Amino acid sequence: MDLGYIERGTTLKIFEEFENRAVSDEFEGTFRYFEDELFAINCPGLYEYYDKLRPDACLHVSFLTETNIHSLTGNIVEKQRTPGMILMKQLTDIVTTNRRQYDRDELRVKISIFGLSVKNLDEMRFDRPETEPDMLDMTYDISAGGVCVISNILLNSKHDPYYLIEFSLSPLDSFLLPAQLVRRSNYPRTKIGRYDYGFQFIFDNLPEEKGKLSRAILSRKLSFR
């Protein structure tokens, strides 16, 4: 997708990132126009935050179309005279993620989320970290491919976008799985939280865990019939 195809008025979610992690709250703006590599947005919150930005700050920009979320990275070229108006330059191509690659079931269970170092992604097994989790909340939905969490907590880890996720679907079905954060937005599907996080499990070295998770989800669903 090209920014030139985005409709004027499309809602954008924007936050400052540094070394692939969020370092600011998320701001909401609207798309105005695109020309060459520059695009204009109306975003009063970011307009006010401008003076707090790091030099050469990178901004993560995302927007929705139907079931897809699109994201790119850009930086601010200038803060225009019109209040709220900002001109930005596109730095990366648009990455599109399908929000419904797997069927998901609305299962509410407690979840603990810990930052996970890239060097530990290839581990064959994981132990629960001794540190406090970066997030302790409830799942919104779970599938054999990933999990969604809707929360009021701004997730911020030096290891972003990689995390270790702990949850149980029954006394016999506990999981501690590596995952990648593939969606971070302020488009919650309910009013239970401000932020909508989508994680994709990484089963490259844990193929048996995917089958175990699929069976546990099915058992959990059957137990509530």
User: Residue 35: what pLDDT?
Assistant: 85
Which of 35 and 225 is assigned the larger pLDDT?
35
User: Residue 67: what pLDDT?
Assistant: 67
User: Residue 191: what pLDDT?
Assistant: 62
User: Residue 65: what pLDDT?
Assistant: 77
Domain ranges of the chain: 3-98, 110-223
- Average pLDDT for 73-86: 93
Helix (H, G, I), strand (E, B) or coil at 207: helix
- Using alpha carbons, select from 106, 102, 110, 127 the residue that is nearest to residue 178: 127
CATH architecture for residues 110-223: Beta Barrel (2.40)
Would you say the C-alpha torsion 33, 9, 6, 64 has a positive or negative sign? positive
Q: What is the pLDDT of residues 91-130, one digit of tens each?
A: 998 888 765 554 566 788 999 999 999 999 888 889 999 9
Q: What is the pLDDT of residues 129-178, one digit of tens each?
A: 999 999 999 998 888 889 999 888 888 888 989 999 999 998 889 999 99
Name the amino acid, one letter, at 86: I
Q: What is the pLDDT of residues 12-65, one digit of tens each?
A: 989 888 876 677 878 899 999 998 889 999 999 999 999 999 888 999 898 887
- Using alpha carbons, select from 222, 225, 221 the residue that is nearest to residue 109: 221
- Beta bridge partner(s), residue 218: none
- Average pLDDT for 194-220: 88
- Percentage of the residues of the chain whose pLDDT score is greater than 70: 88
> How far apart are the two ends of the chain, measured CA to CA in Å?
43
Cα-to-chain-centroid distance, residue 145? 15
Quick check: bond before 207 cis, omega within 30?
Answer: no
The count of C-alpha atoms lying within 13 angstroms of the C-alpha of 156, restricted to the half-sphere facing its C-beta, is 12
- Average pLDDT for 79-90: 94
- Average pLDDT for 183-209: 81
**Residue 150 to residues 2, 196, 198: CA-CA distances in angstroms?**
29, 5, 9
3-98 placed in CATH 2.70.98.10: no
pTM to 2 decimal places: 0.57
pLDDT level of residue 190 (50, 70, 90 thresholds): low
